[in-house]
Amino acid sequence: MASFVPKSAETLEEERLYTTARMVEVQCLDCLAKVTAKKNSDHHTSIQWSAEARAACPELCRRTPTGGRDTHQACPRMTASIDAAVRSGEIPVGAEDGY
């Protein structure tokens, strides 16, 4: 059952642009977690986890189950892995028309 229904087909394409376009796969340097990430600028980061990646991350698994305040912090190892991928040029830095 759909809830908020867009009236225009173009809206679905917008959703795709903002949520998945330009996301680059990043393998954690310390564990088996694999996420997708995007950098619109040096200070911007977008990270999409999957259930498999979440389960593979010992740092996030060590924390209390979803809902505890300590899950509100990023995994420092994944942050470092994304920084490394930026330095090596695997993740391009820069936005495209706002996405």
Residues of the shown chain interacting with another protein in the complex, contacts defined by CB under 8 A? 1-8, 10-11, 14-15, 18-19, 40-51, 54, 60, 66-69, 71-72, 74, 95, 98-99
Nearer to another protein, 29 or 52 (CB): 52
- C-alpha distances in Å from residue 71, one per residue of 33, 36, 47, 59, 62: 16, 19, 15, 10, 10
CB 87 within 8 A of CB 80: no
State the nearest-atom distance from the C-beta of 50 to another protein, in Å: 6
**Closest CB to another protein among residues 65, 89:** 65
CB of 90 to another protein, least distance (A): 18
Tell me which amino acid residue 71 is: T
Tokens of 85: 């991928």
